[in-house]
Amino acid sequence: MIKRFEWGIFRYLTFGRILNAALVLTSYQISRLIRRPVVWGGPWSVSLEPTNHCNLKCPECPSGLGELTRPLGLVRPDAFKLYAGSLKKHAFYVQLFFQGEPFVNTYLPELIRIAHQSRLYVAISTNGILLTPDRIEALLKDPPDKLIFSIDGLDEETYRNYRIGGTFSAAFSGLSEIMKHKKAGRLPHTFVEFQFIVMKQNEHQIPEVLKLGKRLGVNKVTLKTMQVYSTASAEYFLPQNEKYRRYSLDASGLRIKGTFKNDCFALWRSAVITWDGNAVPCCFDKDARFVFGNVSQTPFLTLWKNSAWQTFRQDLMMDRSRLEMCRNCTEGVRINIV
Ligand code: SF4
């Protein structure tokens, strides 16, 4: 298995950001001890959603299926500047993805540049299909620090089983083109990850995926377990090999393996901002059901400690199982998700 560390992150650490991380860790431990949320500092990692539009229709994705009830759109550079600027004191890691395909937003190269001006490490997860040679040229001017390619099949039939509307040839061509530039030294700092969601329909290709990752020279190959929402989907998609399942499935239904604690470190270390500026707790809140305010109107750190966010943390510490999305979440559970 190819698995290297993202050393590039260290280039973005400053004394203030390290001190912030120490405050986050300390306040989280105090909160666990007294069973009340004490929040110091700000999250060190934030997802900023470039767009919630997608070019594919993957069957277990609310964005691809058109099931999101929140408005569809894309962030423009001016608004993004405000979002990134409000995070730079405490955060060093920005995930330029949430729902949707980031490269649908044609401002993406400019968004990366703005994030870099705020000294933020930029990670992007893509299906790779829109990474045509022209777009890659635009990206090379100020490349992201990390590119994750989600490709879940090594031939057209397997690939199209889940990535509805896409083709393996287009996705693979995006990844190969990037690796060509990386080998030529044009992406010296970009960490490339090949991510493969393991399903019943593709698990036979795992040995080939590992060989291909090695041949391409990617920095990491990730075999990811799949998130599903119903017993029917579990029966259709979950692989035979238990090692690649995050759920147990029996007569009593579908459950995350392992035991939950009434706890969630993600609510101290990270946050998500949707394309239109809404601050939501985590990447499991795909339809933004828990909005704590909008960063276009209120500074992020004010929202981070407001009563709505604190009540959410407190409720979770009382009983995590009351929240439906938290029951289908692997945070803090010791099981294999990647
Ligand atoms: S779904 Fe719940 S437990 Fe999971 S990260 Fe989000 S808030 Fe935390």
Shortest-distance atom of ligand 1 to CA 328: 1
Quick check: CB of 312 below 6 Å from ligand 1?
no
Mean pLDDT of 216-226: 96
Mean pLDDT of 220-236: 95
Query: Could you tell me whether strands 45-48 and 93-95 are parallel, antiparallel, or unpaired per DSSP bridges?
Result: parallel
Nearest CA to ligand 1 atom 3: 326
Residue 33: what pLDDT?
97
Quick check: CB of 209 below 6 Å from ligand 1?
no
Mean pLDDT of 155-164: 97
Stretch among 237-241, 276-280, 331-335 having the lowest mean pLDDT: 331-335
Mean pLDDT of 165-193: 97
pLDDT at 184 > cutoff 80: yes
1 pLDDT tier (thresholds 50, 70, 90): low
Residue 335: what pLDDT?
67
Shortest-distance atom of ligand 1 to CA 320: 3
Quick check: CB of 284 below 6 Å from ligand 1?
yes
Number of CB atoms found within 10 A of residue 160's CB:
14
For the chain, percent of residues with pLDDT exceeding 70: 98
CB 42 within 8 A of CB 63: no
DSSP assignment string, 221-271: EEEEPPP-SSHHHHHHHS-SSGGG-SEEEETTEEEESS---S--THHHHEE
Mean pLDDT of 27-36: 97
pLDDT per position as a tens digit, 241-292: 999 999 998 888 899 998 888 999 999 999 999 999 999 999 999 999 999 9
- Write down the pTM of the prediction: 0.95
65 pLDDT tier (thresholds 50, 70, 90): confident
CB 191 within 8 A of CB 146: yes
Mean pLDDT of 56-60: 94
43 pLDDT tier (thresholds 50, 70, 90): very high
pLDDT at 334 > cutoff 80: no
Q: What is the amino acid identity at position 238?
A: L
Quick check: CB of 254 below 6 Å from ligand 1?
no
Average pLDDT, the chain: 95
